[in-house]
Amino acid sequence: MVESKAPIIGGEDAGDEEIGQAPAPAVPGSGRGGIHSGPSPHASIPSPAMGSFADRGGWWVAAQGLLLVGAGSSWVLWGEWWGVVAVAAGLALAAAGTVLAGTGMVTLGRNLSPYPVPVPGATLVERGPYRLVRHPIYGGLILGTAGLSLTDGNWPGLVLASVLAALLWGKSRFEERRLQASVPGYSAYRRRVRRLFIPGLV
């Protein structure tokens, strides 16, 4: 995953001429008086974050949200008692998912985004849970959804957790193609850190 430093667009000086001095000659095609080398500071800087909802991978986010809402609804509408072992195992999975996703979010900080397209100026992050897996937040969501469904004795929730895992796998593939294209060193990081979601497993 990545962290970013957004590019800063500086303003113009208060003026190009000083009192008592003749203005610098205009450069043909510069669009203004005085010598002007390089692009205007007000020129637009292309950025993935400036794209449309679809360009930023918004439909992945929408589908992910629908599955999470569906899982939450199933916990309210369905549920059985599967025994103490199922409850204990579900709570352990949910706790592990909370830790994994939570530390992933904290590590990204200001660079956290629901969209799979990297934020502008993204740089490689290898600390925290990203030393073990490339997408700890996704792994935490899968573990948490499966764990709560197991605790609730909820078959529909477990099915939705499986669908969520498949969706996040596709979303991570979409995301990593863009990370490799825009973040220096990501391809090598991807080779070093083989696990995608869950340390030691997936």
CATH number, domain containing residue 79: 1.20.120.1630
Residue 90 lies in a domain: yes
C-alpha to C-alpha distance for 134 and 161, rounded to whole angstroms? 20
Residue 105: which domain range?
57-192
Q: Rounded to an integer, what distance in angstroms lies between the CA atom of residue 162 and that of residue 154?
A: 13
Residue 131 lies in a domain: yes
* Type of residue at 180: Q
Task: Record the pTM.
Answer: 0.73
pLDDT attached to residue 202: 73
pLDDT 10s digits, 101-152: 999 999 987 778 889 998 887 788 999 999 999 999 999 999 999 999 999 9
Cβ contact 23:33 at 8 Å: yes
> Pick the residue with more confidence: 3 or 96?
96
pLDDT at 45: 35
Structure tokens at 57: 């991978």
Count of structural domains, the chain? 1
The answer to whether position 51 is within a domain reads: no
Residue 15 falls inside a structural domain:
no
Q: Which residues, at least 6 apart from 69, have a Cβ–Cβ distance to it below 8 Å?
A: none
Residue pLDDT, tens place only, 38-94: 443 333 334 444 578 888 889 999 999 999 999 999 998 988 999 999 999 999 999
Instruction: Classify the C-alpha dihedral 153-159-163-166 as positive or negative.
Output: positive
- Cβ-proximal residues to 141 (8 Å cutoff; 6+ apart), any chain: 64, 68, 97, 101, 164, 168
Rounded distance between C-alpha atoms, residue 74 and residue 82, angstroms? 16
Question: Would 25 be classed as within a structural domain?
Answer: no
Beta-sheet strands, E only, within the chain: 2-4, 122-124
Has residue 167 been placed in a domain?
Answer: yes
What CA–CA distance (Å, rounded) separates 32 from 98?
A: 57
The answer to whether position 29 is within a domain reads no
Whether 50 maps to a domain, the answer reads no
170-183 mean pLDDT: 92
